[in-house]
């Protein structure tokens, strides 16, 4: 035989009557038993969270200090490199000044030599002209017929 009755039918009737006051007292007892531990755990977790925040801030500060140290090392390297290149520039400038002095002296010397050569050539030319003039005078001239 098939029954059309729902499975929950009669359940309420089967349950014993529960005293609401007893349930409330049991609930309060259970809560009062576990609540202090839960509150201590909650405060411990809050303290731990606060400590973690402080620790994170401290770590961030230390990281920034390390970054500053690295940048200081980098800056020091740049300064030493700048000092190295500055000394190179000073050496190059000194060499250029020395070369300038040498070239100036060489130019003066070359000018003096050129002037001396020109003077010698002029003297040779004058000597040659004198010799030609002398030869002309020494060369016999035919007498003029009158």
Cα separation, 25 vs 31, whole angstroms = 10
The residues of the chain scoring below 50 in pLDDT are 1
Residue at 43 is within a domain: yes
Instruction: Evaluate whether residue 137 is within a structural domain.
Output: no
| Separation CA 129–CA 121 (nearest Å) | 12
Q: How far apart are CA 98 and CA 61, in angstroms?
A: 55
- Would 11 be classed as within a structural domain? no
Domain assignment present for 34: yes
**5 located within any domain:** no
Q: What is the rounded distance in angstroms from the CA atom of residue 42 to the CA atom of residue 37?
A: 8
Structural domain including 40 reads 20-108
pLDDT, residue 90, reads: 98
C-alpha count within 13 angstroms, C-beta hemisphere, residue 33: 6
How would you classify residue 140: left for phi > 0, otherwise alpha for psi between -120 and 50, otherwise beta? beta
Phi, psi torsion values for 8, nearest 5 degrees:
-85, -5
**Does residue 143 fall inside a structural domain?**
no
Q: Could you give the number of structural domains in the chain? A: 1
CA–CA–CA angle 89, 71, 54 (5° rounding): 170
Q: How many CB atoms lie within 10 A of CB 98?
A: 10
Q: For residue 121, tell me if it sits in a domain.
A: no
The pLDDT assigned to 113 comes to 97
**What pLDDT is attached to residue 137?**
83
Structure-token pair, residue 59: 């770590």
Domain membership of residue 46 (yes or no) is yes
């Amino acid at each position: 035989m098939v029954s059309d009755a729902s499975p929950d039918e009669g359940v309420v009737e089967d349950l014993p009557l529960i005293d609401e006051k007893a349930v409330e007292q049991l609930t309060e007892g259970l809560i009062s038993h576990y609540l202090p531990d839960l509150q201590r755990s909650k405060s411990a977790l809050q303290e731990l969270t606060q400590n973690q925040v402080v620790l994170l801030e401290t770590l961030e500060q230390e990281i920034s200090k390390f970054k500053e140290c690295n940048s200081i090392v980098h800056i020091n390297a740049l300064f030493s490199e700048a000092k190295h290149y500055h000394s190179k520039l000073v050496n190059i400038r000194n060499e250029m000044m020395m070369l300038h002095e040498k070239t100036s002296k060489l130019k003066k010397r070359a000018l003096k030599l050129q002037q001396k050569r020109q003077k010698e050539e002029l003297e040779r030319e004058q000597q040659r002209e004198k010799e030609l003039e002398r030869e002309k005078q020494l060369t016999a001239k035919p007498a003029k017929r009158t």
